[in-house]
Amino acid sequence: MNPANPTAPTIVACYSVYDDFFPALGFTDLTDGMYEGDAGRPYEAAQARQAEVLPDRAGVAAGARLLDIGCGYGRILRAAGARGAAACGITVSPEQVRRGVRAGLNVRLADYRHLGPEWDGRFDAVIANGSLEHFV
Ligand SMILES: C[S@@+](CC[C@H](N)C(=O)[O-])C[C@H]1O[C@@H](n2cnc3c(N)ncnc32)[C@H](O)[C@@H]1O
């Protein structure tokens, strides 16, 4: 994090509140999934579909190195890992980092706006799903 230009405290606080109860309610992540015009598709199926389509579009295959900006609870990281990719997620939520690390995922506490040059050239693909709206 960069103390001169911190992540808006309301964003971090918002996720701290969500992270207290969303997982307990069965939310596997923090976006609405992918319905592709099928309003009857169950939430879980929409989430699973999104976790396949986004890595497909980003060309994530075995051996690929993926950065997931705003990785939430790690759904995309898991899907990429299942393909044999090396997936790293960043988030501004300390609770999401704890949860992800506990689950064996590579999740770091970082604001994408402050990633240093040591992150350059380390990834073949980048996904930012449902996080763009926070980057203002
Ligand atoms: C709506 S959630 C989306 C989570 C997940 N990608 C999904 O598909 O459900 C937004 C995510 O963006 C993260 N985020 C917000 N601002 C960020 C920033 N500046 N740098 C990195 N992550 C950020 C939040 O911590 C949260 O994990």
CA of 36 to the centre of ligand 1 (A): 23
**Residue 117 maps to a domain:** yes
**Residue 124 maps to a domain:** yes
User: Letter for the amino acid at 40?
Assistant: G
pLDDT of residue 112: 92
Given a cut of 80, is residue 39 above it in pLDDT? yes
Among 79, 135, 99, 91, residue whose Cα is nearest residue 23: 99
**Residue 71 maps to a domain:** yes
The tokens of 120 are what?
């350059």
**Residue 4 maps to a domain:** no
Span 81-132, pLDDT tens digits: 999 999 999 999 999 999 999 999 999 999 998 999 999 999 999 999 999 8
Which pairs with CB-CB distance under 8 Å and at least 24 residues apart come from 49-57?
50/75, 50/129, 51/75, 51/76, 51/78, 51/79, 52/79, 54/127, 54/129, 55/79, 55/80, 55/83, 55/85, 55/125, 55/127
CA of 30 to the centre of ligand 1 (A): 8
pTM value surpassing 0.85: yes
Contact (CB, 8 A) for 53 and 34: yes
Contact (CB, 8 A) for 31 and 129: yes
pLDDT of residue 29: 83
**Residue 93 maps to a domain:** yes
Domain that holds residue 107: 9-32+40-134
CA nearest ligand 1 atom 10, residue: 131
**Residue 58 maps to a domain:** yes
Instruction: Give the range with max mean pLDDT: 6-10, 33-37, 128-132.
Output: 33-37
The CATH number linked to 91 is 3.40.50.150
CA nearest ligand 1 atom 11, residue: 70
How many distinct structural domains can be found in the chain? Answer: 1
